[in-house]
Structure 1
Amino acid sequence: MWSARLIFPARNFLSGQPLSARSGLLNSRVPIQCSNIRTGGSRKAPRYGKGSNFQPKTETKIEVETGPVSPSKLWKPLGFTVAFSSACFVGASIWQYENILARRKQQWNWYEEQLVRPRKYGWIRDRLNHVWNGLTEGQKTFYVICFANVLVFLCWRIPMFQSTMVRYFCSNPASRVVCWPMALSMFSHYAPLHLFCNMYVLHSFSSGACASLGKEQFVALYLAGGMVASMASYVYKCVAAKPGLSLGASGAIMTILAYVCSRYPDLKLSIVFMPFFTFSAGTAIKVIMGLDAVGILLGWKLFDHAAHLGGAACGLGYYYWGDKYVWQKREVILRWWHNIRGSGSH
């Protein structure tokens, strides 16, 4: 039960040295798989020799913007965070509306579904449908999110994509592109262990969160939490003048973790590899947030502690006020969408 959002310090990119990436309860050193990393195109990274872990076949030129970040530059990502998060909940409201209509239509058309419509043939397809339909809504949602994360992870393995991956799938307040990386970085993992630990934690809490929120609200909260975590990371890097690239889903996962631990504080949890050691969910979220707060105060650079705290704060805030002031206020959106669908059908 642990997740981590990695910080890749800018100085490692400048020197071309392998980045030290640690995730979860275990450590793993991972060299960045690029043979030519530049800052402003002025400084080359040394080539890897025969004794290195990776020998690139093609050279990839990567520019990493560094330097102090002016507080005035944070207004644009702040506006994007508000707009993106709002769009997530608006989209979730419409998604839920359409799902309710689809279920009602399916109930009325059961005769056509069962007898008139031709059956899907093929043993493999039938078996896959059977397995998929046997999953809970939380499990289905998790596998979709996990698939997106694995797909981005595989893109990191393609040398010709790495310039794009660093620019758009790593959040960096000093970059010329500051908005979309805030969202895309929550699906980005470079180290296999980092990906595994984050997906393990998400799998552990997704079913409980979906059971409480519904899949539509769960996805909206997950995405909005990831955005708030990225924004918190930007603010910390700007105030502390500590530039660096961040990536990982742990900010969004911390949002779900904080919500579930607040919703079910007496739920018993355990640490992976130590199932005999159990503790309450309420205690777990306090300890995790406390460690992240200490990490910020002491300047720990292993994880993006600001992003963790930002995501956790989003989850706690949504538990206490989100349902009343956000989700229960969607009636205006539903009425507006209902009118659009009604006018479009005539």
Structure 2
Amino acid sequence: MAWRGRVVRWVKEDFITPANRRRGFVLVQQQRCGFRKAAKKVEPKMEAEPVELVQKRSGTPAIEPPTPSQPERSLGRMVKPLVFTVGFTGCSFGMAAIWQYESLKSRVQSYFDEAQADWLDKMRQRKHGDIRKQINQWWNSLSEGQRSVTGIIAANALVFCCWRIPSLQRSMVKYFTSNPASNALCWPMLLSTFSHYSFFHMAANMYVLWSFSSSAVSMLGKEQFVAVYLSAGVISSFASYMCKTLTGRLGPSLGASGAIMTVLAAVCTKIPEAKLAIVFLPMYTFTAGNALKAIVALDAAGLIMGWRFFDHAAHLGGALFGIWYIFYGHEMIWKNREPLVKLWHNFRTRGPGTGGNGSL
């Protein structure tokens, strides 16, 4: 092994000069530096004109940057909601007239059956602690108006629970919010009036509806009241559609406020001298007429100023519909239902040749 060390020393001393050592040292350092960090290649930037020339030579079409899609604001989209509003309103009052006819007919036919049922109930042994009987007693203690809005309140509560199901979020946004920029335009006008995402929003609306239900139903009757309420929901949604389309402030809305404003406006217009009070301030009372004027003025100011906290267009549309219905709508729509009722009566009795005389 000693001779091998001498050979290596001899080669280094005779063949590797100091200059070569320096060159070798520099070469190794450059290689290490090049291995550690590669030099960045600066690619020349092509101007817009050369790119276009290259695209023309290659025959490929120029690619334009995508533009964000803007919601359609054309008033032509409002034709379909307008037809739906008119048609649904007519169907609501038509079904209410038929419902009233059937209610009166069944009431007359079941008079003796109810009397017999009451007699059997007295003869039957009473059960203490019967939950069903307690529910019946509570139901009978309610006024006709409160019983009429119980179904509406239950529907709102059901929709509120559906908002809490994550798998239904997409469908809820599509069908239970009214938005003029959405693909679904018609049915959300109705379904959104039963939709509340906030519990406080739903509780406040349902409290007002419960409070004014007795006066509204005693004034209109339960059949006419339901027709007015459902029609008011669609009409207020259409008013919101029109305002959003004209102003360009597109966005979703939901809630029963528009329909409830119709009920409130109808009661305050019919009974303007009625005394009202705030829930938390019962000592401060005011007339229903003044309350209606203040609400209409507030919504009008919100509509003009562009406030976005409430859907003031829907509120104002519902209030104006309630006022119009008390002054003109009742005479024009409800009092002219007799031809439809006669037509339904003839259909039910199947004409004079099959046992019915074809008259009321």
What TM-score does the superposition give when structure 2 sets the normalisation length?
Answer: 0.75
1:222 counterpart = 2:226: no
* Corresponding residue number in structure 2 for 1:97: 101
* Corresponding residue number in structure 2 for 1:232: 239
* Corresponding residue number in structure 2 for 1:194: 201
Question: 1:126 pairs with 133, 136, 144, which one?
Answer: 133
SS of the residue aligned with 2:196?
coil
How big is the shift at 1:302?
0.6
CA distance in 2, matches of 1:238, 1:119: 64
Cα deviation per residue 1:182-210 (whole Å; 9 max; x = unaligned)?
00000000001100110111111111000
CA distance in 2, matches of 1:120, 1:324: 51
* Corresponding residue number in structure 1 for 2:55: none
1:256 counterpart = 2:263: yes
CA distance in 2, matches of 1:78, 1:199: 28
Instruction: Decide whether aligned partners of structure 1 residues 124 and 303 sit closer, same or farther in structure 2, where only a CA change above 3 A counts.
Output: same
Identity %: 49
1:208 counterpart = 2:191: no
CA distance in 2, matches of 1:204, 1:321: 25
Q: Which has the higher contact order (CA 8 A, sep 6+)?
A: 1
Instruction: Decide whether aligned partners of structure 1 residues 121 and 340 sit closer, same or farther in structure 2, where only a CA change above 3 A counts.
Output: farther
CA contact (8 A) 1:66 1:175 kept: no
CA distance in 2, matches of 1:216, 1:120: 36
Cα deviation per residue 1:144-185 (whole Å; 9 max; x = unaligned)?
111000000000000001100000000001111000000000
- Greater displacement, 120-129 / 101-110: 120-129
How big is the shift at 1:114?
3.7
CA RMSD between the two structures: 2.1
1:87 counterpart = 2:91: yes
CA contact (8 A) 1:233 1:306 kept: yes
SS of the residue aligned with 2:303?
helix
* Corresponding residue number in structure 2 for 1:21: none
**Displaced runs of 4 or more, over 4 A:** 115-122
CA contact (8 A) 1:66 1:174 kept: no
SS of the residue aligned with 2:252?
strand
1:299 counterpart = 2:290: no
CA distance in 1, matches of 2:124, 2:170: 47
SS of the residue aligned with 1:269?
strand
Say which structure is richer in strand.
1
Instruction: Decide whether aligned partners of structure 1 residues 303 and 110 sit closer, same or farther in structure 2, where only a CA change above 3 A counts.
Output: closer
How big is the shift at 1:112?
4.0
Question: 2:152 pairs with 142, 145, 165, which one?
Answer: 145
SS of the residue aligned with 1:171?
coil
Count the aligned residue pairs.
283
CA distance in 2, matches of 1:240, 1:69: 9
Cα deviation per residue 1:67-123 (whole Å; 9 max; x = unaligned)?
242100000000000111111100110111111111111223345434579979862
Radius of gyration: which is bigger?
A: 2
How big is the shift at 1:269?
0.9
SS of the residue aligned with 1:275?
coil
